[in-house]
Amino acid sequence: MTELAEEHAVQLPTMTVQINRLEDAGLVARGSDPADARVRTVELTGEGRDRLRAVRQARIAHLTTELAALTGEERAALAAALPVLAKLGGKPQ
């Protein structure tokens, strides 16, 4: 859980609440690490994978529509900004 919280730049209690909600909704399942009994694992369930896939597809469709509405000049400006945006999208310190 600590690793997930760090990766998503949130406090451990916040991540715990979110995982509890996802587990209650049947989207993730907790397990144990056979190599280290202190470690708890969190995995997507089949329903969780299906929901994630659907959300990603909807996001791609939305972005495709929004990008198509941009002018050529706007697309060029966005393309020029991509390297900076990629740097900003890195893992938080």
CATH number, domain with residue 73? 1.10.10.10
**Counted domains in the chain:** 1
Bridge partner list, 32 = 40
93, part of any domain: no
Domain that holds residue 11: 2-88
pLDDT for 48 equals: 98
Give the E-state strand segments of the chain in sequence order. 28-33, 36-44
Query: In angstroms, rounded to a whole number, what is the distance separating the alpha carbons of residues 90 and 69?
Result: 28
Q: What is the pLDDT along the chain (93 residues), one digit of tens a residue?
A: 888 998 888 999 999 999 999 999 999 999 998 888 888 899 999 999 999 999 999 999 999 999 999 999 999 999 999 999 888 876 544
Query: In angstroms, rounded to a whole number, what is the distance separating the alpha carbons of residues 30 and 39?
Result: 10
84, part of any domain: yes
49, part of any domain: yes
70, part of any domain: yes
Whose tokens are 């969190």? That residue is 42
Query: In angstroms, rounded to a whole number, what is the distance separating the alpha carbons of residues 22 and 68?
Result: 34
**Number of Cβ atoms within 10 Å of the Cβ of 15:** 19
pLDDT for 89 equals: 74
Q: Is 10 exposed, middle or buried (0-12, 13-18, 19+ CB in 10 A)?
A: middle
24, part of any domain: yes
0.75 surpassed by pTM: no
pLDDT for 29 equals: 97
